[in-house]
């Protein structure tokens, strides 16, 4: 039986840009929550997630969250969420 590869917790190079987006959203949520009164338990209830999950978000455990779940959490927190996509500069179209 082949041994399983160890997970380093760091995203693979192709996933790094997406991980950076997730981190950006996580930091925005954390900043918003710091400005809102209440305990972590109360905030977790408001966001519809468990307290350990909120703690993972606040500790920036990027590998545990997808962009879609972070967007839902941000919206439940009362934040506006927008995603902008554009063509990278200097890139050619491929068919």
pLDDT in tens, 30-74: 999 999 999 999 999 999 999 999 999 999 999 999 999 999 999
CA dihedral 67, 68, 71, 72 (to 10 degrees): -150
The DSSP result for 37-92, as a single string, is -S-HHHHHHHHTS-HHHHHHHHTT-GGG--HHHHHHHHHHTT--------PPTTPP
Which class would CATH give 16-76?
mainly alpha
Question: pTM for the complete prediction?
Answer: 0.77
């Amino acid at each position: 039986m082949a041994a399983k590869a160890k997970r380093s917790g760091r995203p693979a190079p192709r996933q790094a840009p997406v991980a950076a987006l997730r981190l950006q959203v996580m930091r925005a949520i954390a900043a918003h929550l710091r400005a809102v009164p209440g305990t972590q338990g109360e905030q977790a209830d408001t966001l519809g997630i468990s307290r350990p999950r909120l703690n993972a978000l606040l500790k920036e455990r990027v590998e545990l969250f997808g962009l879609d779940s972070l967007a839902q959490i941000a919206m439940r927190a009362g934040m506006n969420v927008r995603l902008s996509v554009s063509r990278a500069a200097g890139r050619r179209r491929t068919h």
